[in-house]
Amino acid sequence: MDMIEILKAALFGIIEGITEWLPISSTGHMILADEFLRLNVSSEFREMFLVVIQLGAILAVVVMFWRRLWPFTTPGKGWIKQDTFLMWFKILVACIPAAVVGVLFDDKINELFYNYWTVAAALIIFGILFIVIENRNKTLRPKINSISSITWKAAFLVGIFQLIAAVFPGTSRSGATILGGIVVGMSRVTAAEFTFFLAVPVMLGASLLKLVKFGFDFTPNEAAILLTGMAVAFVVSVLVIKFLLSYIRKHDFKIFGWYRILLGALVLGYFLIAH
């Protein structure tokens, strides 16, 4: 087992756990990390690893919010939690736009948009949007203050924002859906929680597709790298989700907007110089 590669995998796990939930683009950070922490593995395994490492982050959401995500209860209470089932149907509605486009055009999207120009532009544009929308919302009161009060229309519109993130790397899935939630009238906490829950089927599906495409014939070193990255992503995700929910109860998202603009400029500058 190559301990250097294991340490690199742990660093990737830290980056994934932080950037998957903060609205700052895990893709942008992973692209930079891959430049400086390039794993000594095949290109096929690297491509799979950078997606499947998300399973650790997803497991954090499932563990932390299990009671709110699990739709079944005891026989004495009727077996089914109707509000939870309704939430899952709304999540499915929000998943439809990105799922349809992803299935039909995944390879074409990667070919056209998976490059540092797109990532840098998406980082900067959505960073500006966060600042503009938060400034606009200073005097507005949110209309949707809980997951149960999210309308079908609001769920679908958040799904449109998720579609934008699916097409343009660097947008940030969490950033796009949180921003979409705020635009349609959700409170920051509700938008963040809906984003966490929405990530479960989306990221689980994407990870399983990559795993199936790669196959399950891992070398011991590859298995150790993947499991290390996922385990670290899980632990870091738990801490980051707790931090974000605490932070946004008292603060807005503008700091993440400024950070995105800075990161977008760094990505653009680095690749212009290096390439």
- Per the CB < 8 A criterion, the answer to whether 147 and 107 are in contact is no
The confidence score (pLDDT) of residue 234 equals 98
CA dihedral 73, 58, 130, 12 (to 10 degrees): 160
Question: Can you give the pLDDT at residue 26?
Answer: 87
Question: What is the pLDDT at residue 1?
Answer: 62
pLDDT score recorded for residue 271 = 85
Looking at residue 254, its pLDDT comes to 94
* Alpha-carbon gap, residue 204 to 209, rounded angstroms: 9
Q: If you ran DSSP here, which 8-state letter would residue 172 be given?
A: -
C-alpha 261/C-alpha 127 separation (Å) is 5
Asked if 162 and 176 count as a contact pair (C-beta separation under 8 A), the reply is: yes
pLDDT at 99: 85
pLDDT along the chain (275 residues), means of 10: 90 95 88 85 91 94 95 78 93 92 80 84 94 90 94 96 90 93 95 95 87 90 95 98 95 94 91 81
Q: For residue 147, what are the contacts with CB-CB under 8 A and spacing of at least 6?
A: 68, 87, 190, 193, 194, 197
Give the pLDDT score at 103: 77
pLDDT for position 77: 67
